[in-house]
Chains A and B, each alone.
Chain A
Amino acid sequence: MEYLNQNIERLHHSSSALIRAVKESSGGVLAVVPSREGSPSVMHQGQWVHSAYDPKKEARSWAEQQVKKWKTGELGVVLGVGLLYHVEALAFVKPHDSRLAVVVPDVAVFKDALGARALGAWLNTVQWIIGTPEEMAEQLASQSAPLRFFTYGPAARLHAEAHQRLETDLRRLVASKAGGQLHVAVVGPIYGGSLPIARYVVSALNELGHRVSWLDHSAHHTSYEAFGSFREDRHRLTVQSRFADVLSLSTIAHIAEDPPDLVLAIAQAPLTLAVLQHLRKKKFPTAMWFVENYRHLTYWQQLAGGYDYWFVIQQSECIEALKRAGAAHVHYLPMAADPSVHHPLVLTSAEQQEYGADVSFVGAGYANRRTLLPQWLSPEWTFKLWGNEWDGVSDLSRVLQRNGARIDTETCMKVFNATAVNLNPHSSSGMGLDPYPDFVNPRTFELAACGAFQLVDERTLLTDLFTSEEVVRFRQAEEVPRLIRTWLKESPDRRASAEASRRRVLRDHTYRHRLQELLAVVGMRQPDRIGSILRGDRSTTVLKERAATMPELIPLLSKFPPGQRVELKDLAEDIRTRAPGRQLAREELLVLMLDCYRAEKRDLV
């Protein structure tokens, strides 16, 4: 009680709300146990939160590791409260001009810490973040300094869920505020389902105002296919693999010629582990949006450690598997739609006739669909099947359109719009519905964005994305005929559901939303680099504000429009453009000299 009162007294500069909350809290969450060296340590649910031997020494060691990443001017944010040994150690080694904040999801734990031992004057230098995860995210997002997170695992474990919610909310807030212009190199696949997604990603990044270098490897598809004509598999695989190596090298050459802030690969992008390691050595951050079912395509196992950031469309098991394979940062990022491509259409009567039906399905003939779809044919409704790889399914031959030709996006949108009930069974290599129904496919979002009604097989991750009013789902194949019958009859309700799903997509599920979130994740992990650009710290406006130490820089910056991102190379280029016929100022020469050395650094290829 004595420690508690003393420590509360030390907090007199902190907010009265914090002090009041501490006084009102009952505490008693942590079980304080003496350590071997005598200072109090703590256990929670049978696990040590601090060292059982020497909590202070352990905290110092932890802080020394963390402080290496901490840049001057950043606000260090600690996740994990415990008995605050680690916070104390960090407060003593923090960079000059940097502040420290601690997230306190549960004031009761904080009260236990205050009551366990005497805390020094450092207590008053820390900003204590309390409230609901949403409130704490708001407080952190309102900080002007870049945030650098430090997680003290054993203590953070107690509030994992709150931290998760805090991070999600903070990411959303950061994403909504982001205004700076990044240069992102998007590396696309040679072919396949992720190719259109790469295009949507490029389009979204452009819409968000970023500069995009689109490394479109689909231009090499014909050659890749040609190499597939060898009779022996080992010949084909060797040549195609070497070809992918060449494309990987060409990616490096592109990056060397126009260095981006971030290399964003979309699933199936031909980037080898060696090239990814090379990019890391040269300090290019890399991210992969793996828009695939990790259970079907398993090449992530070889590449896990190569990318700095993984974004996946599945949760828990997938994330754990990637981490086990060596991925440092893995985040859930579901699929989305592009409203400029996926939108309602006004069809002519001829188009309605050609593409329309009571029930349709557009997609490839995966094994499970070959057995499911015949069950859903009925004389009660017209049925059209679009897409390829349906050879040998005689039951479906009479409903298969265009002899099973591959359907382009434009046709696909017409079918979605012209169909009363679009079926959307997720693919699986089994015989029935997907036995691991977690990820939500792009078609779900695309149908919704078109304002088209769909019946989709239930997914564990669907609830967070759409309500059952927005997207109607089924759990058993047998339910489908009944659902078709019901929804064909209930035309106004069908339209209402479809419109609601479109509203939801426009509100939450466009590629623009996804890319904002992806960049926010990377920005929060790299507050001094990507984060700084996203905050607009590289804009002429901010640079001019900061140019007090060398006001001669201001006229150079004034050559650029307000708000435009300006880098060293841009300044140098502008000086070179304006150089003929005049004497260069000293600050211009300094910029040119620095740029000479900058230009030498990326010997990538």
Chain B
Amino acid sequence: MPRALVIQLARLGDLVQSLPAITQLRVRHPETQLDLLCPSHLAEVGRLLPGIEKVLEWDGAAWQRRAMAAQQDLRAEHLVEVETMLMALAPDRYDCAYVLNQHRRALVAGSLLAREVKGPLLHGPLGETLTPWAAYVRDVAQRRLGQRVHLADAFCGLCGVSPPGHITLLDPPAVRLPEDLEPIGKHGDPWIALIVGAGETERCVPTEVWRRWITSFLASMPQGRVVLVGTEGERAAEIQSLLPSSALGRIWDTTGRTSLSQLAAILVRCHQVVGSDTGPLHLAAALGRPVIGWYFARARVHETGPYGTNHWVWQAEQGDVDERGVLAPCQWPVDETISLLSHQVPTSTENWSLWASHRDELGAYYVEVGHEAIAPLQRTKIWQELQPSPV
């Protein structure tokens, strides 16, 4: 049986955004065993991806340790050790690796683990020439282009397949929650998961803004509940510290105490998820939860909007921009987001634009509220240019 390996060594968001490509590879190569290589700490999520037979865990910290040792004192033994580590990971080379990152280590991993590599570079892991799809993704990011093809669909293009005809969702994991979190999703409506932090500080919504949001939400929806999710326990504590006593019993703090599977189980129990552009936001979208993203700093809906339908993204258009191009909003769409939860679409908001997710046979796309969608022909043309042969 042919064996192929999907390599996704980036972060949680990228891993779940790889789902459409994995779905289509499964459809296109039904006879091929499809495995996944992902960072060890994301393996739990990797195992949730339909179509993946086996998850290989990439221990970046172990590589780092060995690199440091080799840097200190280069010895043949260091190469022997990493070779042993690779052999334990994958004793036999794969027929093909689909590399979904442009990072050098993912490309080298592809060349080490498979005989053939499909991905962002045309001529091996040290090549300079990008494949057309990789060049497209880079252009969208570097030239701040508007979105025509969603990143997750571009991953399909990188793998030589077209976008899936339907949205594939992750199956909620069968996992036990801590007893005190069991009531989440019961007795109340709506349950909103709030992602309190972000991997990068610049993408964190100020705690006082979240506090204001929670106060307004609880006031406007008497049966509403808020579940604080993420790893940042201190931020969650800070948010809760000055909340009015009326919030008591309506806030569920799960931060810093759940595994990724438990996080997924909690997200599934919520009606909607609100947060900045983070892994949990994309995980929620992949689990079929409608999400409302606040995109600022360097996050752009055109690059990393949540995949699927029924999602909203607030895109910051104005604010303080530092020398790195990081935009810090001066105001936040607090009440406007609460309106969205009640299915009332705000007409306008100062300094923010609102985008709604859609999908068709060419994949997912976003349309700004009050604007026309990009003509389907334009998107078809891109697919024809970048992937001339039918797939």
Contact = CB atoms under 8 A, between A and B. Distances in A.
A579 B124 contact: yes
A93 interface: no
A550 interface: yes
A347 interface: no
B111 A596 contact: no
B125 interface: yes
A39 B339 CA distance: 83
B178 interface: no
Given A549-B77, A553-B79, A589-B112, A576 B71 contact: no
Interface in B316-359: none
B68 interface: yes
A548 B112 CA distance: 22
Contacts of B123: 580
B88 interface: no
Nearest to B68: A601
Interface in B55-96: 60, 63-64, 66-68, 70-80, 82-83, 86
Interface in B290-326: none
A451 to B, nearest CB: 45
Nearest to A578: B126
Given A568-B70, A597-B60, A597-B67, A589 B125 contact: yes
Interface string A564-602: 001111010001100110011011011111111110110
Contacts of A553: 76, 79
Nearest to A581: B123
Given A553-B79, A590-B112, A594-B78, A568 B126 contact: no
A376 to B, nearest CB: 57
A598 B125 contact: no
Contacts of A248: none
A549 B83 CA distance: 12
A538 interface: yes
Contacts of B104: 592, 596
Interface string A536-566: 0110000100111110010000000000001
Interface in B96-116: 103-105, 108-109, 111-112
Contacts of B112: 586, 589-590, 593
Given A538-B74, A584-B111, A590-B82, A596 B105 contact: yes
Contacts of B70: 568, 594, 598
Contacts of A583: 124
B105 A593 contact: yes
A532 interface: yes
Given A553-B79, A579-B124, A571 B109 contact: no
A407 B77 CA distance: 57
Contact of A590 (B72, B79, B103, B126): B79
Interface string B357-381: 0000000000000000000000000
Contacts of A591: 79
A529 interface: yes
A426 to B, nearest CB: 44
A601 B66 CA distance: 12
A579 B126 contact: yes
Nearest to A592: B108
A538 B72 CA distance: 10
Contacts of A579: 124, 126
Contacts of B68: 597-598, 601
Quick one: which of B76, B83, B105, B108 has the most chain A CB within 10 A?
Answer: B76
A532 B74 CA distance: 11
A138 interface: no
Contact of A593 (B71, B73, B76, B108): B108
A549 B76 contact: yes
Nearest to B67: A597
A528 interface: yes
Interface of chain A, main secondary structure = helix
Interface in A512-536: 528-529, 532
B105 A597 contact: yes
Contacts of B105: 593, 596-597
Contacts of A547: 76
A367 to B, nearest CB: 51
Nearest to B75: A546
A594 B126 contact: no
A594 B76 contact: no
Quick one: which of B79, B80, B124 has the most chain A CB within 10 A?
Answer: B79
Interface string A12-47: 000000000000000000000000000000000000
A591 B70 CA distance: 9
Nearest to B65: A597
A598 B65 CA distance: 9
A579 B127 CA distance: 8
A222 to B, nearest CB: 27
B242 to A, nearest CB: 34
A548 B67 contact: no
A515 B242 CA distance: 62
Interface string B109-139: 1011000000000011110000000000000
Quick one: which of B63, B67, B86, B103 has the most chain A CB within 10 A?
Answer: B67
A316 B71 CA distance: 38
B76 A595 contact: no
A591 B71 CA distance: 11
A584 B124 contact: yes
A590 B74 contact: no
Nearest to B112: A589
B125 A592 contact: yes
B126 A597 contact: no
Contacts of B80: 549-550
Contacts of B86: 590
Contacts of B76: 543, 546-550, 553
A594 B111 contact: no
A570 to B, nearest CB: 9
A519 to B, nearest CB: 18
Given A593-B105, A596-B105, A597-B63, A532 B73 contact: yes
Nearest to B78: A594
Contacts of B66: 594, 597
Contact of A598 (B71, B79, B111): B71
Nearest to B109: A593
A590 B67 CA distance: 10
A584 B74 contact: no
Nearest to A259: B71
A49 B125 CA distance: 62
A567 B66 CA distance: 14
Contact of B73 (A538, A550, A575, A587): A538
A546 B76 CA distance: 7
A566 B74 contact: yes
B112 to A, nearest CB: 5
A592 B126 contact: yes
B125 A594 contact: no
Quick one: which of A546, A547, A569, A590 has the most chain B CB within 10 A?
Answer: A590
Given A549-B80, A584-B124, A593 B74 contact: no
Contacts of A596: 67, 103-105, 108
B126 A584 contact: yes
Contact of A550 (B67, B79, B108): B79
Given A580-B123, A592-B108, A598-B71, 20 more contacts: A529-B72, A538-B74, A546-B76, A550-B77, A550-B83, A568-B67, A576-B126, A586-B83, A587-B79, A589-B112, A590-B86, A591-B79, A593-B63, A594-B82, A596-B67, A596-B105, A597-B64, A597-B67, A598-B67, A598-B70
Cβ-closest 10 pairs across A and B? A597-B67, A550-B76, A596-B105, A579-B126, A547-B76, A598-B67, A594-B67, A593-B108, A549-B76, A568-B70
16 contacts: A538-B74, A543-B74, A575-B126, A579-B126, A580-B123, A590-B79, A592-B104, A593-B82, A593-B105, A593-B109, A593-B112, A594-B63, A595-B67, A596-B104, A596-B105, A601-B67
Interface of A: 528-529, 532, 537-538, 543, 546-550, 553, 566-569, 571, 575-576, 579-580, 583-584, 586-587, 589-598, 600-601
